[in-house]
């Protein structure tokens, strides 16, 4: 603020060297003459900037003005300041006449030109100072201009040079970043530096101390005699315009000649229902709370409805702003470009406004805004905003905007502090004595108080040293039960909130919870109410309803024992977002708002601060500033590893960088002599940065030494938070080169030499980061029993089966996709094709039938398809798939008998299915089913209404179609068939249907809620209910080996079927095609995943083991690498148990709620590239 700077500026001016202006004069001069004023009004001020020296003079026709030469070939910057606005242009000495277009106030529709001549001085013209002084005396005007005009000239000069707004914004952003103890003093020092750098010696044109008339004359005489200073006096102010509105300085000028036009209310036609919706949402907004009902009616009439799809960029940073918006429904993300990369700084929800800053301060858009889901917005134009909302918006308590401070906004300190500051600055108060009554302060945005930063969208935390946690009496059994509910609940929110709190805080949380009885039909929470408690269900069930507008409320979820609700209103100080009603008599544990925020939220903040401190000690992050470290701490994930567990494995592909938080680890490189240790890591060390940079396969494996804890960050998150990777690494490139050299040296050295080098002294090892000794890996104990696998053969000679298979491939009806099953409603539909001559581990050819909007990217050996579809989940869905041929015998002529399908439709419903074929024609059966099952499911009359009935109908119709098709094409399916498993995801509901032994596993990959949720069980003939049905239908069930039951025709060795439910397999009676059905409901934020796989995965692993192998791997590596790992683990078990024999293997992994900020799509599907 200039008023706060005056005392300091005068002090700087007094230290100005005597004779400085004389030195300027000796540098050389030039003359500027206004040849034609262009109709500009009297009192127009013309300002010249030569180098670092600025001179002002009144504009008079044919009066030469002497200026110091500009350094080198720099042009002279000319600024015109008059009642009609400001104009800026550059001139270079030597051109005869400059013509500048000016719009006259008397004739606004006609263009006139200001004509200015600049040339080297011949020494005859008077200086600007001499000329203006004489003119002023002749006209009887005081040679000492008023202080207000001096201040106005300086402000206008800054603003019209087009750089002040940027400087102010940078200044305030720096202040928020560094958070100095005294923000006012910090801003003064920075502004002094800016003034000195920009204005050079012009500081003496600021106010001088007020003196008595005699003192003023003596000071003037002394200054004239001692310095012989011919610096120009400032001209008199332009003629006053009595009764006119003060012209804008940093804010927007209104219309022509800086005058506000009469506002004519804008009316956009809309229904009463729309007006009611607007009124409901704007009454929640800070900007409209102080408006009168009449003003609100004008605003509502002027608003227009705007419906926005997901992923639309409504605002781009730097653009001019003409409208603002209020959010009725949906959410939008605000990004700022920092260090060349867009960083998410805020998320806006219902009731928030955005775009108002550009209208309020007449500045470019401060951030980019992108819709993160479908939104309904109400748009308000600039004219209505300026006429109705402007003053109320300035006066209203505005929310803080993280990463942005309004241009020109000055800190607001209390009056007492400012007075104290003026007194400390000596005569600063004297300079304002003459115009205190005339000066009025411009309303400014509120200043963030000194100390801890308050919340942006969340509720501000207030320190209360006297607060003590409440304690509600509980028996030891109740305490144990409550603790057990929190720790074992299937509700991931509890693990997120309480999973990392210290033990002492956890006990305080348990103490602070009180038990409440809820009657049936009682509303525990009502939508729109203020939140006061957080609840955990002890007993009973609750129905959750959401109402949108005037529509009837809709049930969206059921909460049972162990589920929690009510945290959002307490975390974000927002109204309740749903109504929760007891479905029966229930009990809940309740934690009040104050205890929740002081125990739960403060614990999270404390842990966050500890993590920032830890990052200060990490070598690679020491180049970051505090803001960058805080941003990094917010996105770092944590993972625990057991002794000798692989954190990363050589050859794997992922993009994560790890930092050791606790414990130790060792890096090993695999060579001819086994694995050799090349590096050890302790607390604060990091690894994996090469993959973070390049995405290349891992150069080494890293194993935990004892139990350890690592922090990690993905490449996409790193880019989003810290900007471009390359620019970040350039700041620290030396450290990375050193590490890469170590890895390259380790690879180049002979492993035998490394093993011999293990005898080096401990001292040498301490000096070198690389440890050279043989790594003794623990051998994984496979607790498996070798079993005899009965290989599927045919009574026919191999040549006959080979000929039959080859003959079938000449029939397009058998091996080409069926056009009758084409699906126009599918966004993405993929299934496996058929090809002859496949060898062991070869990938199945793919058939893709996708609609518009699906893009793909080839990455190494993979192809990644991406698309967006409607979804109720908060984040994206990633899918990985492998379908590879097994090895039944050296002469096996059959193609891969497994098949799969992945289908996502325009209504957001997804199908994931695996068909595990068997018998001589199993490949034809599974190929037909991969097309018919999705088709009949979509065509079912129960689709979207009753999924159990729809799935049952689809399975039965697919069997009927298979029998008819094979009869028509002369394919014998008496001993050929397929298992079938299908997952349907509809909104938050997971529907599972299956027959046979192709299992489905459902689990949670969230670190704090990692658990196996469900796994199907094979339909085997030894199960009592299955066996009873088969024998009642005339089939015979025999135990051929201990625990190995098969189905035969009575008195026959045919067909020997191992499952009691299957498609095809028409020989035996009682084989069922009706699927077993299960339903699971996940919450919108649940991080679940599903694996749908053929028997090649499940033969030697159950659901629990598969979950243990994949949950952590999925968190760290993603679905495709996890599937690769799972298939590799399965093959190892096949090799261990069955030698060269290995079944076909197919697996689909679906990972829900993955955060991929780099992608604009919410679905991605990774498959192996077809040969």
3-state SS of 51-65 is: CCEEEEEECCECCCE
Report, as an integer, the average pLDDT of 175-191: 75
Using 50, 70 and 90 to split pLDDT, how confident is the model at 403? very low
Output 653 or 392, whichever has higher pLDDT.
653
Burial (CB count within 10 angstroms: exposed 0-12, middle 13-18, buried 19+), residue 686 = buried
Most confident of 41-50, 475-484, 606-615, 1013-1022: 1013-1022
Most confident of 740-744, 801-805, 967-971, 976-980: 976-980
In percent, the amount of the chain with pLDDT more than 90 equals 26
1099 has a pLDDT exceeding 60: yes
Q: Which pairs count as long-range contacts for 683-688, CB under 8 Å and 24+ apart, including other chains?
A: 684/614, 684/617, 684/618, 684/619, 684/659, 684/660, 685/659, 685/660, 686/618, 686/619, 686/620, 686/657, 686/658, 686/659, 686/660, 687/648, 687/657, 687/658, 688/648, 688/656, 688/657, 688/658, 688/712
Using 50, 70 and 90 to split pLDDT, how confident is the model at 51? low
Q: Where are the alpha helices (DSSP H) in 1056-1163?
A: 1095-1098, 1103-1117, 1119-1138
Output 747 or 950, whichever has higher pLDDT.
950
At residue 773, the 3 state secondary structure works out as strand
- Structural element, H or E, at residue 4: helix 2-14
Using 50, 70 and 90 to split pLDDT, how confident is the model at 520? very high
Using 50, 70 and 90 to split pLDDT, how confident is the model at 210? very low
Report, as an integer, the average pLDDT of 998-1026: 91
Separation of alpha carbons 1113 and 1119, rounded Å: 9
Q: Where are the alpha helices (DSSP H) in 698-840?
A: 715-722, 725-730, 733-748, 751-756, 762-767, 798-808, 812-815
42 has a pLDDT exceeding 70: no
Output 1080 or 80, whichever has higher pLDDT.
1080
Q: 765-774, 808-817, 963-972: lowest mean pLDDT where?
A: 765-774
Q: What is the pLDDT of residues 544-567, one digit of tens each?
A: 999 888 888 888 888 888 888 888
3 has a pLDDT exceeding 60: no
Cis peptide before 810 (omega within 30 of 0): no
At residue 1143, the 3 state secondary structure works out as coil
Output 319 or 1008, whichever has higher pLDDT.
319
Output the pLDDT for position 431.
Answer: 38
290 has a pLDDT exceeding 80: no
Q: What CA dihedral angle connects 287, 290, 294 and 298, to 10 degrees? A: -10
Q: What is the pLDDT of residues 1111-1169, one digit of tens each?
A: 988 988 889 889 999 998 999 899 888 888 899 999 999 999 988 766 778 999 999 87
Output the pLDDT for position 82.
Answer: 61
Give the pairing type, strands 876-884 and 1163-1168: parallel
Would you give the end-to-end CA distance of the chain in angstroms? Answer: 69
**Under 8 Å CB-to-CB from 123, ≥6 apart: which residues?**
none
Report, as an integer, the average pLDDT of 1005-1028: 91
Q: What is the pLDDT of residues 596-641, one digit of tens each?
A: 888 887 777 788 888 888 888 887 777 777 777 888 888 888 888 9
Using 50, 70 and 90 to split pLDDT, how confident is the model at 248? very low
Q: Considering just the CA atoms, what is the radius of gyration of the chain in Å?
A: 39
Task: Judge contact between 675 and 633, C-beta under 8 A.
Answer: no
At residue 662, the 3 state secondary structure works out as strand
Output the pLDDT for position 762.
Answer: 33
503 has a pLDDT exceeding 60: yes
- Angle, in degrees to the nearest 10, between helices 2-14 and 415-424: 0
In percent, the amount of the chain with pLDDT more than 70 equals 69
Using 50, 70 and 90 to split pLDDT, how confident is the model at 1096? very high
């Amino acid at each position: 603020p200039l008023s706060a700077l005056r005392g300091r500026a005068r002090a700087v001016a007094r230290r100005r060297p005597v004779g400085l202006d004389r030195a300027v004069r000796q540098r050389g001069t030039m003359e500027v003459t206004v040849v034609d004023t262009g109709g500009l009004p009297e009192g127009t001020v013309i300002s010249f900037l030569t180098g670092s020296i600025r001179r002002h003079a009144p504009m008079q026709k044919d009066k030469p003005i002497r200026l110091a030469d500009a350094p080198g070939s720099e042009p002279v910057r000319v600024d015109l300041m008059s009642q009609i606005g400001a104009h800026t242009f550059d001139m270079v000495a030597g051109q005869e006449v400059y013509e500048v277009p000016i719009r006259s106030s008397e004739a606004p529709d006609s263009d006139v030109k200001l004509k200015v001549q600049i040339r080297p001085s011949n020494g005859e013209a008077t200086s600007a100072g001499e000329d203006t002084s004489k003119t002023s005396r002749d006209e009887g005007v005081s040679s000492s201009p008023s202080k207000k005009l001096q201040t106005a000239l300086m402000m206008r000069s800054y603003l019209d040079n087009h750089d002040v707004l940027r400087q102010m914004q940078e200044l305030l952003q720096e202040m928020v970043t560094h958070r100095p103890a005294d923000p006012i003093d910090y801003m003064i020092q920075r502004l002094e530096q800016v003034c000195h750098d920009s204005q050079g010696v012009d500081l003496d044109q600021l106010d001088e101390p007020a003196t008595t008339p005699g003192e003023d004359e003596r000071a003037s005489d002394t200054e004239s005699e001692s310095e012989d200073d011919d610096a120009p006096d400032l001209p008199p102010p332009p003629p006053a315009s009595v009764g006119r509105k003060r012209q804008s300085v940093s804010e927007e000028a209104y219309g022509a000649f800086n005058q506000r036009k009469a506002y004519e209310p804008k009316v956009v036609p809309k229904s009463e229902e729309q007006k009611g919706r607007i009124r409901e949402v704007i009454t929640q907004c800070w900007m409209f709370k102080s408006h009168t009902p009449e003003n609100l009616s004008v605003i509502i009439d002027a608003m227009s409805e705007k419906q926005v799809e997901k992923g639309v960029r409504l605002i781009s940073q730097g653009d001019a702003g003409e409208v603002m918006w209020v959010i009725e429904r949906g959410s939008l993300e605000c990004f700022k470009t920092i260090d060349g990369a867009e960083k998410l700084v805020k998320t806006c929800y219902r009731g928030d406004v955005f775009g108002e800053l550009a209208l309020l301060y007449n500045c470019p858009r401060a951030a980019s805004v992108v819709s993160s889901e479908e939104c309904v917005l109400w748009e308000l134009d600039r004219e209505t905003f300026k006429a109705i909302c402007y003053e109320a918006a300035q006066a209203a308590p505005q929310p803080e905007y993280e990463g942005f401070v309004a241009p020109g906004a000055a800190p607001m300190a209390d009056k007492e502090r400012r007075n104290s500051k003026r007194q400390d600055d000596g005569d600063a108060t004297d300079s304002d004595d003459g115009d205190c009554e005339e000066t009025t302060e411009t309303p400014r945005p509120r200043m963030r108080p000194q100390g801890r930063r308050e919340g942006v969208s969340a509720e501000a935390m207030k320190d209360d040293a006297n607060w003590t946690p409440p304690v509600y009496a509980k028996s030891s059994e109740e305490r144990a039960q409550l603790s057990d509910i929190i720790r074992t609940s299937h509700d991931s929110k509890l693990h997120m909130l309480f999973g990392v709190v210290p033990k002492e805080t956890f006990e305080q949380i348990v103490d602070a919870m009180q038990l409440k009885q809820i009657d049936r039909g009682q509303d525990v929470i009502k939508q729109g109410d203020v939140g006061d408690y957080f609840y955990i269900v002890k007993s009973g069930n609750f129905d959750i309803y959401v109402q949108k507008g005037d529509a009837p409320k809709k049930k969206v979820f059921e909460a049972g024992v162990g589920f929690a609700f009510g945290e959002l209103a307490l975390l974000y100080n927002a109204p309740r977002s749903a109504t929760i009603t007891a479905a029966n008599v229930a009990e809940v544990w309740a934690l009040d708002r104050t205890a929740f925020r002081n125990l739960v939220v403060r614990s999270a903040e404390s842990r966050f601060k500890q993590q920032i401190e830890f990052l200060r000690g990490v070598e690679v992050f020491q180049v970051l500033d505090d803001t960058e470290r805080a941003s990094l701490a917010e996105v770092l994930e944590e993972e625990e590893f057991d002794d000798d567990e692989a954190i990363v494995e050589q050859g794997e592909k992922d993009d994560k960088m790890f930092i050791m938080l606790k414990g130790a680890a060792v890096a090993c490189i695999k060579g001819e002599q086994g694995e050799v240790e090349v590096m050890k890591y302790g607390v604060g060390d990091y690894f994996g940065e090469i993959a973070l940079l390049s995405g290349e396969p891992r150069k080494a494996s890293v194993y935990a030494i004892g139990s350890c804890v690592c922090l990690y960050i993905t490449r996409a998150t790193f880019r989003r938070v810290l900007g471009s990777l390359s620019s970040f690494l350039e700041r620290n490139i030396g450290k990375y080169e050193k590490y890469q050299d170590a890895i390259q040296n380790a690879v180049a050295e002979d492993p035998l030499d490394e093993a011999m080098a293990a005898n080096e002294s401990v001292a040498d090892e301490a000096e070198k980061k690389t440890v050279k000794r043989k790594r003794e890996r623990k051998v994984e104990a496979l607790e498996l029993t070798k079993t005899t696998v009965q290989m599927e053969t045919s009574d026919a000679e191999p040549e006959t089966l080979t000929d039959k298979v080859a003959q079938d491939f000449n029939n397009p009806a058998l091996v080409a996709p069926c056009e009758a099953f084409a699906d126009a409603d599918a966004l993405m539909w993929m299934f496996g094709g058929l090809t002859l001559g496949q060898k062991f581990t070869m990938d199945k050819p793919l058939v893709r039938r996708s609609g518009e909007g699906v893009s793909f990217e080839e990455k190494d050996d993979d192809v990644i398809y991406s698309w967006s579809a409607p979804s109720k989940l908060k984040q994206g869905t990633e899918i990985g798939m492998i379908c590879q041929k097994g090895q039944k015998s050296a002469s096996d002529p059959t193609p891969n008998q497994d098949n799969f399908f992945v289908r996502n439709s325009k209504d957001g419903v997804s199908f994931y299915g695996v068909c595990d074929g068997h018998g001589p024609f199993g490949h034809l059966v599974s190929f037909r089913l991969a097309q018919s099952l999705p088709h009949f499911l979509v065509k079912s009359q129960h689709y979207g209404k009753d999924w159990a009935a729809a799935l049952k109908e689809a399975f039965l119709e697919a069997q009927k179609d298979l029998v008819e098709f094979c009869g028509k094409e002369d394919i014998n399916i008496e001993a050929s068939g397929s298992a079938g498993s299908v997952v349907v995801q509809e909104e938050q509901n997971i529907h599972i249907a299956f027959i046979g032994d192709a299992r489905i596993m459902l689990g949670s990959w969230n670190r704090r809620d990692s658990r196996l949720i469900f796994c199907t069980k094979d339909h085997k003939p030894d199960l009592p209910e299955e066996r009873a049905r088969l024998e009642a239908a005339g089939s015979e069930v025999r135990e051929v080996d201990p625990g190995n039951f098969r189905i035969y025709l009575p008195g026959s060795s045919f067909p020997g079927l191992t499952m009691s439910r299957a498609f095809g397999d028409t020989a035996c009676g009682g084989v069922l095609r009706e699927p077993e059905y299960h339903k699971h409901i996940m919450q919108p934020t649940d991080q679940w995943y599903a694996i749908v796989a053929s028997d090649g995965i499940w033969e030697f692993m159950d659901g629990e083991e598969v979950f243990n192998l994949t949950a952590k791997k999925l968190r760290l590596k993603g679905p495709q690498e996890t599937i690769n790992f799972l298939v590799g683990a399965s093959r190892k078990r096949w090799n261990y148990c069955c030698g060269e024999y290995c079944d076909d293997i197919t697996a689909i992994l679906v990972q829900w709620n993955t955060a991929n900020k780099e992608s604009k799509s919410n679905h991605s599907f990774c498959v192996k590239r077809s040969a």
